[in-house]
Structure 1
Amino acid sequence: MHLLAILLTLFWIVAAALRSWRLARFYQIEEYMADRYVRWLLARRERWFPRQPAIVMLAGVVVAFALQFGGVEYASLHGVLWAVVAMIIAQPEPVKEVKRQFRRTQRALRIVGAACLLDALVIAGLSAQLTANMAANTPQELSTVSIAGFIGFLFAPLALPLGNLLLTPLEAQLRERFRRQARARLQAAAPFVIGITGSYGKTSTKHYLAHILGGKHKVYPTPKSYNTEMGVCLAINTDLDPSYGYAYFIAEMGAYVPGEIARIAKLTQPRMSIVTAVGPMHLERFKTIENIVKAKYEIVEGVPPDGTTFFNGDNPYVRQMAPGATRNTASWSRKKGCPKRVTWPKTCSNRWQACALRSTTARAKRGCPSRPPWWACIT
């Protein structure tokens, strides 16, 4: 390949790498799972075959053929043409799907790096193969390089899951080391661990509980919406320093696949858990509501035999989970018939200050202490 063809190849590699970088955010949103990411990619043609770059490429082909048939055989002119085409294609298109910003974690950067390397190998290899028998420094060579570059540009979305696949052995070792570090740190800090799960209401319940406990104790809730296994590990390894003396650690636990909550519970070993609600969130991943219920039930099995799980009796699916629980359980509801009924005053002068949350607790069959613990009666 001539120097001009090599430079043009680099232009296309940059264009493909930029596309991989922009799509990395959506791959991250899908938790780096190839099947979910590919389904998202194929859901709309514009995601895997963008219209604007295709139009620009077609225009470049038309102009190149027009120049060649017009007798303009200057390689430098064709090189400038295709370089401009590559630069236009490399420009980001307006993105309307702003679900959340890309988090530049170490794993994300490793995956993007591997994807960019694959982009470079595909474009460079394909260009070298297609131009092997062509004369150097000709319009035909430069046009062929650009076609190979555009093919590599279209391949860029698949470079992310393929790059992640290549990194699987390394990532497995790093995740296990991250888990061991978090487990050791949590054991050294020795806080009372409370796990919270649910299709919705996890984060708000976590903040309410942290605020209540924070009145008398030092509490560390997982930040933001960190509710995956690696997210909880990151929170522990970053902020749960044993020297801080945290009395309570509130861990939010989410699930995209069966077994994920069980892994988080095994890591954190909660002594108490709360199930807020079960709904159709992530139904496309779990297929049925029953599978979602089973996934949420993993937090119940994650507490020790003497631990307690609290169920939101207002949610019909959660209410059905309580009778079959093998651990100590407690349910609350705004309706009658639940062991713990939550009511509000009919009138109040100030909604936030004068409205007191009252809880009436039914006496358990085995008896109850004269003064119930904080989780049995909030006044």
Structure 2
Amino acid sequence: MHLYIDMYSKVSQIESNVLLDYLQGSLLVTMPVSNSLNVINNGTQPVPIRFELVNHGDNGFLAISNQKQAYLFGNPSSPDGVSSQKSEMIVTTDQDNSHGLRQWTINDGVLNEWNAYPAQQGRFEDPAVIQERRWRLRNALPYAEGWGTGTGGDGSGWHGPSASITFPTGKNIKNFTARFYAQFLFGNMSTLGLQQFNIWSTGRELIASVQLWKWVDGHGSVKVRIGNNWAYIDEYNPRWDNFFGQIVIQRSGNTYTVTIENIEGSGPKTKQVISYTDEESASKLAGGMTYWKAINGGESSIAMNNDLYDFWLRKDNVDSYTNIPNLLKEGDKLTVNMDDFKVTSTLNGASALKYQDIGSRPIMAKPGNNIVTFNYSGFADRPDVVAYIRRKYL
């Protein structure tokens, strides 16, 4: 066996070293394409190649091939992480009576103002004081205290208290499902009342509103507003009498789906689903909600039993990324020895045969040029690769 050191001129701007075992010397080799080496054997016999690879970044596998033989360490299918979509609950009603009304901002909400002289006045009772078994926003108070007196002070126009929640900042709520649960009940036809269930933008612009209302001696009515458009109107219809159930407002992309369903009320078990597309309002992120209850007149005896029992809002289709630890970490050193027609692997100086694919075969450098390619996970950085040979002559 003879050892020679031959220096080759550089033919590419990208270069790497091939070192000779047992000798302090190096061969300059070219890399005609990314992730490849040209190992030049000036001997007369094929010889095995030994590789040393230094890994960079998280990496699931390293592979080496000369188109005839191949070596694989790790798993090419190993992901860096998993992306998934899930829902995130943004707001739920705090129904601990001892917490009172601290979750709510009173009389500073965003209304659907397409009503006669709307005014946010009056107040709700403190749940910590009334201690009801079933939580609700109630205002069973003297007229002016519970409802206010209207914009002119004479009871004209729709007036009553509102309760609002501003959603946490930075949530970027595009797609969402909001659910209100409320009663809209009356004992006789002479009563009246109005309720609004509103979602508004981060800029306090009305996005969506469902309004239940009733006038003296009339049946119940429903009006749904999306952005600046009426999406649904059904007025003076007995199917809305004595409603006690859920109002669900859902937005996906530019499309809204509103579901109004009587669950507990003594009236007809009505379920109405409305679908409406509005690109302008859908471009605005959801920023908060308002519940408003109102009467029109100068005495509370005309008021219906209108109360909010629950509210929640869920952000839908939230992208979530979970990082998955990989086999190779930054700076790991993999040594691949292919002597004696066997393949062995050591990782950071320790045997790592259990990670070596059973089909791995020695990669030989035949006399002349030998293009060797190597691959790694797409999310990893390119490793440093050094190849060693011992040339053999007859």
Q: Same fold (TM over 0.5)?
A: no
Larger-gyration structure (1/2): 2
Q: Which structure shows the bigger proportion of residues in helix conformation? A: 1
Q: Which structure shows the bigger proportion of residues in strand conformation? A: 2
Structure showing greater relative contact order (alpha-carbon pairs closer than 8 Å, 6 or more residues apart): 2
